Structures are given as C-alpha cells and as structure tokens.
C-alpha cells in the first residue's frame, strides 16, 4: 500500500478573490529577497509537469545580471488530456497576471508575455480586456510592468520552454540545447522566468496567504494542491483540485466507472498504470512516497476494459510522430519507426520479439533525444508494451 | 498597392519589421485570407526583409498556418485519444457525407476545408472540433449536421 493521503478536494485555485490589487500592492512592499525566501519555503514545484522548484527559478533569474529580463506564462497547454490552464485563464486570469507582476518586481523584469496556444484563440479578446484593466492598476500601484499576449499557431512542441521562446522570436519551434537555461539566456537571449499557468496561480495563493498554508497541504516533497484534468471512461470528467500525494487507487475509487483497466497519468508523455498497480502508485514528485511516484502535469485519462491498449498506443505514437519537431534524428526517426513497428507486429509481419527491439529504441531515444518530447516517448511506450504485451501482439 | 500588399504593410506597421513580428504578421494574414499563399509569403519576406525561404520554413512548421489554399471555414476535428474514444469517427463520417469531401479536401465552392488536428484541450467534453477559431464540443453526428447547416445559411447571406 502506498504511503499516501486520502483523496482530498481543495478549493484554492478557482476561489474568487477580488482583492488582487491589494495582494499586489501589499506584496511588493516586501523586499524581493524576502519574497523569494517565502516562495522557496513553500516548496512549490512547477505544475507543467517537470516539477522544477519555482522559488529557485525566480531566484536565479533575479540574480542574473541584465538590463532586460522577461516573465513568460506558458499557456501552450497541448499535452493530450490536459485542459486545466484554459479553465484558469477563463475563470481567474487576474491571479495569473498578479503573480507575473510580482515575479517582475522580484526579478527586475518589466515585460511579461502569455504564450497562448492557437487552439485557445477564442480566449484572447476577454484576456486582453482583463490585461488592460490590470495595466491600469499596475500604474496606480507604481509598478512598471506590462503584459502582452503572444498567440501560438498549433504546435505541441512549443510547450517546451525553449521551443516556445524560439517561436516567440519568429522561428520554427525547435528546442534549444540546455544549458544555458532560460534563467540565464531565455527570450531574446535575456534572463527569463517561464512558468506554467497553474504554477503562477499557486504563487498568488502563497503571496496572499503565506507559504505555510500551501506547505501544509500535500506530502513531503510534493507540497500543495494540483489541478487534475480528468477524462476518458469516467462518469465525471472535468477539472478537480486535489492534494498531491493521493494514491491512484483512491483516485480510481472516486473517478472510475467501476471497470477501470488502466489510467494514463501525465498525458501521452506520461505513464500508463494498469489496475494491478493502482494501490502502489501515488501522484506526486519523487521522494518519500513508497511504491511508484508519478509526477504529472495533471492529465488523468481513464480506460475501461472495453478499450484496446494497442489502439491507445497507436494514437499516442501518431501524435508524437506528427508533433516531433524533426530537428533531432532519435526523435524524428524513432517516432516513425515505433509506429511502423507496432503495426508490423500486430499484422504478424514481425515476430513478437520485435517489441523488445522497439523497447531498446525507446531507451536510445530517452538517452539521446534533444528535448523532453523525444525523451518521454519511452514512458508511455514501455508502460503500455510491458503491461499489455499480449494486446500488442494479438 | 493591391489588397495583400496593403494588408501586410498594415500588419508590419502594427507588429514591427523584425523577426519576432513574423508570427503575428503571418497570423494576421491567415485571419483574413485563411491561408498563406506563395504571394503573401514573398510579400511578407519583402516587407520585413527576410529570405522568403525563412518565411516559408517558419510557416510550414505550424499546423495552423496553412500554405495551401483552403476554404473560408477550416474544420479541424480533434483526433487525439479521448476524442477518438468518444466517437470522433462518426462525427467525421457525418461531415464527410454532408460536405461530400474527404479528409484534407476543400469543397468546390471553397467554403469548407476538412482537417484533423491534435488535442484541442476539450477531452472532458469530447469529441471536439474547431471551425476557424470557434470551438464545438460534445459532438454527435446530429449536432455537427446542425452546426454545418448554420454555417451554410450564414454564409449564404454574404
């Protein structure tokens, strides 16, 4: 049994708080260093999926020497099964903007951008209205900070932070080599904080209520709450704010349809967990959780016993093949060959042992692909092929 | 100056004439023209002083920047996992039957182009599609037929 919390619903993110002007003006009365310490002590980690400590990211950017710095809100929410950021931007956008402005105050950035995926263009007009109002209050508060919306044009890879910056610079969205990291050289080569939409809302909560309120939720190494996008074979698809550290078993009790065969945690680039491992898996960052710990950007897709895991994997691989930027060979050719390979095994043109070759290919991709896209194809591929091997063959 | 030149000049005046303004300019052309013709790409290249190959290279990277002629309404049906599980194919068949087009094709009257796209972020209300920038969710064959009829009626007034 995983050492995990019971599933607990929380309501921080969507709580309607009309006092953001007060939160902004009160927060920027503190010294940047004090605010960074507060953020670090909350142990907030990035909510886009990678889980980098947010306080440290802000600290590194604040320490970087440059006359020009930027704050970017990553709203290029493209991971299959994720739709929480859209909900945040339509319901509590001012929390996101407030956190960006506070980040600007702390780091010395005067310009912020929201990289909004093209699929969410319908949000733009409404967001712009809130931004205009927000600029007015920034002026009133005496804070020199300006936010602009940059629209994407349909490319999953642009959710990768350096690809996003390339895209903002008017280029193909091809990820850069790291280092240098964006905290040193980001947008236009200048120190840049780039955070997921949800991360910024948590930062707002922390600055409003203090780090302790956030820290007291969740479990060790996985503090606070997280928004989960629940879809697939569930009687209640939607967006839920839950404490981190819950066991997958508890999650399935709450959201399953009684016949859940497997859950994909973290979208197509995440892991598929079969029923027999539900009780050993907990949702949170690596650390004290016993059993399997599954970090996630919040995508939870449930599959019941009527679903073919071959079709699921086929769908993911087609997705990756199309969305691979094509820049590095392991990912470009790897995704193509994995897709061709599983089809060949299914049709009986290749022996079942060919799956092991394909598994080795994903290991190579994990080691050699340039960015998270190519590296993470191995996650879903190996967790599906290893747990549902017979479905791949017959 | 012809309309395309005027459009691109206005967009460059608004967004600037540097590399970072390339995407907003291309998006602005697509908003009016629905796609980027060779002519528009060459004109953008001239206006902001970039090699035309760079403009095409960038445009062709992004799935929402079409470089082939499309209809006035681009239908993009989500084909990613949850939509695929929740009846995306039936929706596609209904559209294909109604518009008499195959995947990737444009109706002869240049009104509709039918495409598929990757996750639109409406998995809890699958299946979903976009028509230009407008989102339609929880689709059924009946619902999608009603939606398209409305577009046909709306378009007839133009």
Picking from B33, B59, B85, the residue at the C-terminal end of a domain is B59
Confirm if A300 and A263 have CB atoms less than 8 A apart. Answer: yes
Confirm if A70 and A184 have CB atoms less than 8 A apart. Answer: no
Cis bond before residue A179 (omega within 30° of 0): yes
In a domain, A246, yes or no: no
In a domain, A222, yes or no: no
pLDDT, chain B, mean: 96
In a domain, A43, yes or no: yes
Give the mean pLDDT of B115-120. Answer: 98
Here the CATH number for the domain that contains residue A369 is 1.20.1440.230
In a domain, A296, yes or no: no
Largest CA-CA distance found in chain A, in angstroms, rounded: 70
Task: Please check whether residues B77 and B138 belong to one and the same domain.
Answer: yes
Here the CATH number for the domain that contains residue B116 is 3.40.30.10
pLDDT on residue A3: 44
Picking from A183, A199, A215, the residue at the C-terminal end of a domain is A215
Task: Please check whether residues B50 and B120 belong to one and the same domain.
Answer: no
Q: How far apart are alpha carbons B140 and A357 in whole angstroms?
A: 41
Q: How far apart are alpha carbons A335 and A319 in whole angstroms?
A: 9
Query: pLDDT digit of tens for each residue in chain A (394 aa)?
Result: 344 446 778 899 999 888 999 999 999 999 999 999 999 999 999 999 888 999 999 999 999 999 999 999 999 999 999 999 999 999 999 999 999 999 999 999 999 999 999 999 999 999 999 999 999 999 999 999 999 999 999 999 999 999 999 999 999 999 999 999 999 999 999 999 999 999 999 999 999 999 999 999 998 889 999 999 999 999 999 999 999 988 999 999 999 999 999 999 999 999 999 999 999 998 988 755 456 778 788 999 999 999 999 999 999 999 999 999 999 999 999 999 999 999 999 999 999 999 999 999 999 999 999 999 999 999 999 999 999 999 999 9
CB contact, 8 Å: B77 with chain A? no
Task: Please check whether residues B39 and B87 belong to one and the same domain.
Answer: no
- Within 13 Å, how many C-alpha atoms sit on residue A136's CB side? 7
Say which residues have a Cβ less than 8 Å from residue B33's Cβ, sequence separation at least 6. B4, B7, B40
CA angle at A59 for the pair A56 and A60, rounded to the nearest 5°: 90
pLDDT on residue A302: 98
Here the CATH number for the domain that contains residue A77 is 3.40.50.11540
Of A9, A41, A20, A7, nearest in space to A201 by CA: A20
CB contact, 8 Å: A121 with chain B? yes
pLDDT on residue B152: 94
CB contact, 8 Å: B130 with chain A? yes
pLDDT on residue B158: 57
Q: How far apart are alpha carbons A213 and A208 in whole angstroms?
A: 10
Give me the interface pTM, i.e. the ipTM: 0.96
Task: Please check whether residues B113 and B139 belong to one and the same domain.
Answer: yes
pLDDT on residue A74: 98
In a domain, B66, yes or no: no
In a domain, A287, yes or no: no
Residue B124 is nearest to which of A80, A231, A323, comparing CB atoms? A231
pLDDT on residue A7: 73
In a domain, A302, yes or no: no
Q: How far apart are alpha carbons A77 and A158 in whole angstroms?
A: 9
Q: Which domain holds residue A387?
A: 309-393
**Number of folded domains that form chain A:** 2
State the pTM of this model.
Answer: 0.96
Task: Please check whether residues A31 and A174 belong to one and the same domain.
Answer: yes
For chain B, state the CA radius of gyration: 17
In a domain, B64, yes or no: no
Of A274, A273, A275, nearest in space to A283 by CA: A273
Confirm if A272 and A261 have CB atoms less than 8 A apart. Answer: no
Task: Please check whether residues A198 and A331 belong to one and the same domain.
Answer: no
Burial of A369 (0-12, 13-18, 19+ CB in 10 A): buried
Q: Which domain holds residue B151?
A: 73-156
CB contact, 8 Å: A150 with chain B? yes
Number of A/B CB contacts below 8 angstroms equals 120
pLDDT on residue A22: 94
pLDDT on residue A296: 81
Q: Reply yes or no on whether the pLDDT at B144 is more than 80.
A: yes
């Amino acid at each position: 049994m995983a050492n995990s919390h019971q599933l607990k619903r929380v309501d921080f993110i969507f709580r309607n708080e009309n006092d953001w002007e007060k939160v902004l003006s009160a927060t920027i009365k503190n010294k940047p260093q004090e605010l960074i310490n507060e953020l670090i002590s909350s142990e907030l980690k990035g909510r886009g999926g990678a889980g980098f400590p947010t306080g440290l990211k802000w600290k590194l950017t604040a320490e970087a020497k440059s006359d020009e710095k930027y704050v970017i809100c990553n709203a290029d929410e493209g991971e299959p099964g994720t739709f929480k950021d859209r909900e945040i931007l339509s319901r509590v956008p001012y929390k996101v903007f407030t956190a960006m402005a506070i980040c600007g105050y702390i780091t010395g950035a005067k310009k912020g951008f929201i990289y909004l995926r093209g699929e969410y263009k319908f949000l733009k007009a409404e967001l712009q209205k809130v931004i205009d109002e927000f600029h007015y209050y920034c002026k009133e508060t005496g804070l020199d900070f300006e936010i602009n919306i940059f629209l994407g044009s349909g490319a999953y890879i642009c959710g990768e932070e350096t690809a996003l910056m390339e895209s903002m610079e008017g280029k193909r969205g091809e990820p850069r080599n790291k280092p240098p990291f964006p905290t040193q050289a980001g947008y236009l080569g200048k120190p840049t904080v780039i955070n997921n939409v949800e991360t910024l809302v948590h930062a707002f909560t922390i600055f409003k209520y203090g780090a302790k309120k956030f820290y007291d939720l969740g479990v060790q190494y996985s503090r606070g709450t997280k928004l989960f996008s629940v879809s697939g074979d569930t009687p209640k698809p939607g967006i839920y704010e839950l404490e981190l550290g819950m066991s997958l078993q508890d999650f399935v009790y709450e959201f399953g349809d009684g016949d859940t065969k497997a859950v994909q945690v973290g979208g197509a680039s995440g892991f598929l967990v079969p029923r027999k491992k539900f009780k050993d898996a907990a949702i949170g960052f690596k650390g004290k959780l016993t059993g399997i710990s599954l970090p996630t950007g919040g995508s939870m897709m449930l599959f019941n016993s009527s679903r073919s895991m071959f079709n699921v994997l086929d769908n993911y691989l087609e997705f990756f093949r199309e969305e691979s930027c094509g820049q590095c060979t392991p990912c470009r050719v790897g995704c193509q060959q994995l897709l061709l390979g599983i089809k060949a095994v299914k049709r009986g043109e290749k022996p079942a042992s060919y799956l092991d070759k394909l598994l080795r290919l994903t290991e190579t991709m994990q080691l050699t692909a340039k960015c998270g896209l190519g590296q993470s194809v191995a996650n879903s591929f190996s967790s599906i092929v290893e747990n549902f091997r017979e479905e791949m063959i017959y | 100056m012809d309309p395309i030149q005027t459009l691109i000049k206005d967009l460059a005046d608004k967004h600037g004439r540097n590399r970072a303004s390339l995407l907003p300019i291309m998006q602005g052309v697509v908003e009016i023209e629905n796609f980027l013709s060779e002519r528009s790409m060459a004109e953008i290249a001239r206006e902001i002083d970039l090699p035309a190959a760079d403009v095409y290279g960038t445009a062709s990277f992004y799935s929402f920047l079409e470089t082939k002629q499309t209809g006035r309404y681009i239908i993009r049906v989500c084909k990613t996992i949850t939509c695929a599980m929740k009846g995306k194919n039936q929706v596609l068949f209904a559209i294909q039957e109604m518009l008499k087009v195959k995947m990737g094709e444009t109706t002869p009257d240049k009104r509709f182009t039918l495409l598929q796209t990757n996750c639109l972020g409406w998995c809890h209300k699958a299946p979903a599609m976009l028509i230009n920038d407008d989102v339609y969710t929880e689709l059924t064959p009946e619902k999608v037929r009603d939606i398209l009829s409305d577009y046909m009626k709306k378009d007839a007034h133009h």
